[in-house]
Amino acid sequence: MRLSCSAIATVFTALVFAAIPQLNAQATQYAEKPPLLVGAAWYPEQWPESQWDHDLSLMEAAHIDVVRVGEFAWSTMEPSEGHYDFAWLDRAIALAAKHHICVVLGTPTAAPPAWLTTKYPETLRVDENGVRDEHGNRQQFSFTDPLYRRFARDIAEQMAIHFGHNPDVVGWQLDNEYGNPSFDPTAKAQFHAWLQKKYGTIASLNRHWATAYWSQTYDNFDEIPVREDGENPALLLEWKRFVSDTWKSYSENQIAAIRPHADPRQFITTNTMGWFEGFNEYTVHSVLDIAAWDDYIDSDRYDYLANGAAHDLTRGYKMKNFWVMETEPAFVNWRPTNTPLQKGEVRDMAWQAIGHGAETVEYWQWRSAPNGQEEYHGVLVGADGTPVPVYYEVQQVGKEFAEAGPEIAGTSPHSEVALANDFDSRWAIGFQRHSAGFDPVNEMLAFYKPLRQQSQAVDMISIDTPLDGYKLVELPALNVISQATADRLMAYVRQGGHLLLGPRTGMKDEYDALEPQRQPGPLVDFLGGRVDQFYALDYAVPVSGELGDGTANIWAEQLSVQAPDAKVLLTYGKSNGWLDDRPAVITRSVGKGRITYVGAWLDAATMGRLTQQLLQQAGVQPILPGVPEGVEVCQRSNAEKSVLILINHNTKDEHVGLPEPMRELIGEPGIGSQETVSAVDLPAYGVAVLETQK
């Protein structure tokens, strides 16, 4: 069993720790700071200084260890052009330190001051229709404008000179939630230059984009339109890539200002937004020290599997532990109906974040703002300065992080299975869905959920991540595939890997052009089969075979077998005539491994049975077998120790037996902790944190 100490110390350690990049899993690089942090977004500039100590006292009582400050305070830091005032921030940081609270400083470039946008209106963003933004919101700047970048660099540099060696400042957050691109003349000119650098000649671009279609042929790069939809798919894909490179350079502009003046222990990051697909997160994160994201529930009910997938996605940006820079204290203010999390789910979410590799969980925000666009958003403390009910649940989280932190320090999640997230493919499908129901993220989750439930650990990786050390790799819809990527995948299978391809895989080359050999493109011969035709579905189609009976929904591909050793696992039943009795899922053993192609969006039960078969063939065992449905198992480990986190996401009590005695690191209220147990009883939304005995 992977859970046993001896296994971790031998085979599992040798396999995983040699293959996967590791992070010194400490919330900060300051040894005197706690190994796990609870935090909040604090805005001292919004409140009289006489109230600061009261706020910080309540934070300390709630075991809050870190605050993020400054990310919207440009007008307070630089009240007029070139005149800086950091004295108030000096006092805020010093007062926080007296309450044993450290600071992440946000550069305030997400919200430029009115003096800047009034004097220099060219710094404002222009939307796709040519309308320039106005002052009064946030993210209203142009991410390409040289003047705006100069002001952003200057404020970041002045902050770094002033705070770069303050021992209570442990890190930097650049800007806040990078968002919409700009379509101003500078952005367009930079895009044209970017294309010319990539393609060299306009003839090369015309060839790869097949611009003879609809007389789109261009005579020079300046003729190319700049839009996010309704254009040649190749143009749309390249625009997304350009936007990604531009946000990367936007980060580099501030990093270059901060790093020469900052203590090397101070990390630099930015806060991202889960499945947001405005740019390639791997590109943007390539210049950051750690990944961080804002964990908000965007539906009426908390889906723990979907939320866990977003944590794994974020961990995969750097293949390292990460921070949750913001999360909701019970509710938000931007959904149609802002229902609260159930009592207990805030704690549930906090421990899930840790289980998936977070080092810090910060809440947005600490105290209700006296005014502004987010007055109704959840908080820990009301506008009157007294705690709201969720404060006490966060207080419990802080106490437990302090109890378990020393044993969790230095550990990370590890997995033998991976699921690839590819922005090019998500974008390409989004440009031409063909079926409104084919949402690339939902399709990824359809693969992720049974994989996570059965293996209990999944790495969400880039398609460029080395695959050594993974027994099973799943590519839900790798729509865009280059020959180089295909060669890597084939080598992985030949060397013993198990590869699962989902529908729409291998349809496009790296220029978003259709592969002439049909799907899965350069993998057709290797698979020993291909897609003869694809169909959008408006009703369920039956499938049956070795995996039992089920249905295909949303999307179905008519497959054909072209190699004698390729095996059919599922066949379509009677439906539209084209699919009748044709293969839906095929598999083939190649070299030491296996490749499987799923041509349909399968129902959850059938996908679960397929996942079970793949895991068995790959030799992947669950971390803790036999847990009740709805109880999540997370494991964090290193070469010396292993910590198990069990979370009951159900509304009823659950009993979980353990394969060996383990030491409890936290206790439910009134029960106590540090006991050695052979089983745990988890109440609704209950959590157990357990260390294996040595």
Residue spans of alpha helices (H) in 1-124: 5-7, 18-19, 52-61, 74-77, 87-98, 114-119
CB atoms within 10 A of CB 133: 19
Q: Closest Cα partner for 558 from 571, 540, 539?
A: 571
Residue 492, both tokens:
């992985």
Q: Which of 429, 494, 457 is nearest to 316 (CA)?
A: 457
Please, which residues bridge with residue 473 across strands? 418, 499
What value does the CA radius of gyration of the chain take, rounded to a whole number of Å?
A: 26
Nearest to 448 by CA among 313, 581, 333: 313
Q: Whose CA is closest to 405, among 14, 675, 51, 34?
A: 34
The total of other beta-carbon atoms located within 10 Å of residue 503's CB is 26
Virtual CA dihedral for 78, 82, 87, 90, nearest 10 degrees? 80
How many CB atoms lie under 10 A from the CB of residue 300?
A: 10
- Whether 87 and 158 have beta carbons less than 8 Å apart is answered as no
Tell me which residue of 275, 284, 270, 343 sits closest to 311, measured CA to CA: 275
Q: Residues near 311 by Cβ (< 8 Å), separated by ≥ 6?
A: 293, 295, 322, 352, 353, 356, 357, 358
Q: Which is catalytic among the residues 128, 177, 374, 515? A: 177
Residue 45 is a catalytic residue: no
Place of tokens 């710094």: 123
Instruction: Respond yes or no on whether the N-terminal peptide bond of residue 185 is cis (omega within 30° of 0).
Output: no
Q: How far apart are CA 323 and CA 356, in angstroms?
A: 11
Alpha-carbon span 107 to 270, nearest angstrom: 10
State which H helix or E strand residue 237 sits in. helix 233-258
Give the dihedral of Cα atoms 509, 512, 513, 514; nearest 10 deg: 70
Please identify which of the residues 157, 326, 328, 403 carries the catalytic annotation: 326
| CB-CB contact of 505 with 479 (8 Å) | yes
Token pair for 647? 């979370």
Answer yes or no: are the C-beta atoms of 42 and 663 closer than 8 Å: no
- Give the count of beta carbons closer than 10 Å to the beta carbon of residue 5: 15
DSSP string across 572-585: E-SSSSSSTT-EEE
Q: Which residue has the tokens 């709201």?
A: 388
Work out the end-to-end distance of the chain between its first and last CA atoms, rounded to an integer number of angstroms.
16
> Three-state SS for 480?
strand
Contact 131, 125 (CB under 8 A): no
Give the Cβ contact number of residue 69 at 10 Å: 23
Are the C-beta atoms of residues 117 and 137 closer than 8 Å to each other? Answer: no
- Is 375 among the catalytic positions? no
Sign of CA dihedral 668, 671, 677, 681: negative
Residue 622 and residue 3 in contact, taking contact as beta carbons nearer than 8 Å: no
DSSP 422: -
CB 522 within 8 A of CB 515: yes
Tokens standing for 567? 């095996």
Rounded to an integer, what distance in angstroms lies between the CA atom of residue 125 and that of residue 378?
30
Q: Which residues are catalytic, by number?
A: 177, 326
